[in-house]
Amino acid sequence: MTKVTAQMSVSLDGFYAGPRHDGDGDWLQSAESAKFFRVTRWVINAMAWRERQGFAGGEQDVNSDIMAETFEAAGAYVMGRRMADGGEVPWGDEPPFRAPVFVVTHRPRPILARQGGTSFTYVTDGIHSAVEQAKAAAGGKNVAVAGGGTLLRQVLAAGLLDELELHIVPVVLGTGMRLLDADLGLGDKEGIELIPTRVVHTPDVTHVRYSVDGRAPLLLDDRGSGA
Amino acid sequence: MTKVTAQMSVSLDGFYAGPRHDGDGDWLQSAESAKFFRVTRWVINAMAWRERQGFAGGEQDVNSDIMAETFEAAGAYVMGRRMADGGEVPWGDEPPFRAPVFVVTHRPRPILARQGGTSFTYVTDGIHSAVEQAKAAAGGKNVAVAGGGTLLRQVLAAGLLDELELHIVPVVLGTGMRLLDADLGLGDKEGIELIPTRVVHTPDVTHVRYSVDGRAPLLLDDRGSGA
């Protein structure tokens, strides 16, 4: 059955990048990129990621296996507009997705077909529509929410996410863009419950996969005194 | 050798409690307590914690083993003023620490001796002094930073923390008091690096222990293209 999945590299304090670089100047010299580079360093070192980019070398280790598995499981992607725009040039003629990508945007645009199986379809009627179109295109594989963080939160808040894998990188960054931030629309005494289904531990990163159980009220207990 | 350690139960988005309840009304009916109760539910269910509270029952499982190990490793505690004040009545005549506790406060107060080996010493000259006094009192065991989150951040920011264990509870809470928040005083391109040394995975909580390596600059890489 097609699941809607997402995976993201985050620091121990939950950041996937530094503070958003909106102004002039070189993104590569920004705090956004410095912190993004730190949390994705394990990805850059993974052979399975490097192969998709056409780069030689890399480590053939458990981190690479997880990256390979992540690519293999996805039959289609859903992506935010900022990520799609930012990647368009660096991903080049043969982007690493090798599957249809559905970009959530307000701006209509013709389908962009690339080599190697990747195409970008621009969806202007919202995340539910983008997820539905991706499911129909996934060929029985999963729909992966590629990012960025804002789209991932929207998909989680809308109850559309079945599985979340966090790659928790052992660094505290202090400031930046948080994956799980306050705009989830949760009530004061409400949470989104998950079930951890797999933990893989390496020196560089801890991979924790969750099945998303959904919103639930937070209940008080008697702190053990009455049991 | 005496290490300075800390451990805290946090939600997947990093909260150890809901938004601070400062106003009138019943703390037990607040969002602060609802979220605190959720992330500490595994503790309440652990037999090793219940024994220290004088409560019967509980689960004798790996979570309880971790709680027992945590109690056993601590020869002295450092604690924030708000936590000490909040616990004074509920902890009663025989608090669960069974070791000297050094409370960081601005308000001088005589030592409070309790039954079972617990004492509270009120330290008015800062966290370095409190940690030093706790080390001297720890009898070769570790100094545990008991909390709350504000004190833990101060100890981490000051470079005094050797080991951090997070008990990551599989729930997203959206708002509240974050353990690792922006007041760590990190620069734009600076992080605190850690090394994960142990991961224990249970359905209720993922225990990740880190050795704290310290502050380090964040370096750009070539994104793999030049290797």
Asked if residue A119 has pLDDT above 70, the reply is yes
The pLDDT value given to residue A195: 98
Q: Does residue A227 carry a pLDDT above 70?
A: no
Q: Is residue B65 part of a domain?
A: yes
Q: How many domains does chain A have?
A: 1
Residue A225 domain-assigned (yes or no): no
Distances (CA, A) of A195 to A162, A213, B64, B184, B201: 11, 7, 19, 31, 11
Distance CA(B220)–CA(A36), nearest Å, equals 9
If residue B120 lies in a helix (H) or strand (E), which one and from where to where?
A: strand B119-123
Q: Report the share of chain A in percent with pLDDT over 90.
A: 88
Average pLDDT over residues A91-110: 96
Question: Given A19, A34, A182, which is nearest B174 (Cβ)?
Answer: A182
Find the mean pLDDT for residues B29-57.
93
Mean pLDDT of B67-79: 97
Is residue A226 assigned to a domain?
A: no
Residue type at position A180: L
B contacts of A58 (beta carbons < 8 Å)? 224, 227
Please compute the mean of the pLDDT values over residues B91-113 and round it to a whole number: 96
What CATH number does the domain containing B194 carry?
A: 3.40.430.10
Nearest chain B residue to A21 by CA distance is: B188
The reported pLDDT for the residue numbered B225 is 79
> Which residues are bridge partners to A85 per DSSP?
none
Please name which of B197, B154, B152 lies closest in space to residue B10, comparing C-alpha atoms: B152
Residue A201 vs residues A59, A62, A138, A195, B200: alpha-carbon distances, Å: 16, 9, 30, 18, 9
pLDDT band at A53 (very low <50, low <70, confident <90, very high): confident
Task: Assess whether pLDDT exceeds 60 at residue B15.
Answer: yes
Taking only the tens place, the pLDDT of each residue in B133-176 is: 999 999 999 999 999 999 999 999 999 999 999 999 999 999 99
Residue A223 lies in a domain: no
Q: Is residue A148 part of a domain?
A: yes
Q: Greater confidence, B74 or B222?
A: B74
**DSSP label of B84:** H
So what's the pLDDT on residue A23?
Answer: 77
pLDDT at residue B227 is higher than 60: no
Query: Hey, are the CB atoms on A49 and B224 less than 8 Å from each other?
Result: yes
pLDDT computed for residue A27 by the predictor: 87
Q: Residue B189 has what pLDDT? A: 95
Show the tokens assigned to A124. 């202007």
The rounded mean pLDDT for chain A is: 95
Cβ atoms A146, A79 nearer than 8 A: yes
Residues of chain B with C-beta less than 8 angstroms from the C-beta of A19: 188
Whether residue B225 lies inside any domain: the answer is no
Q: Taking CB atoms and an 8 Å cut-off, how many pairs form between chains A and B? A: 175
> What is the extent of the structural domain holding A175?
4-217
A200 pLDDT higher than 90: yes
CB atoms within 10 A of CB A199: 18
Is B227 a member of any domain? no
| Mean confidence (pLDDT) of chain B | 95
Q: Are B179 and B20 in contact (CB under 8 A)?
A: no
Give the closest-approach CA distance of B37 to chain A in angstroms: 6
Within a domain: A227? no
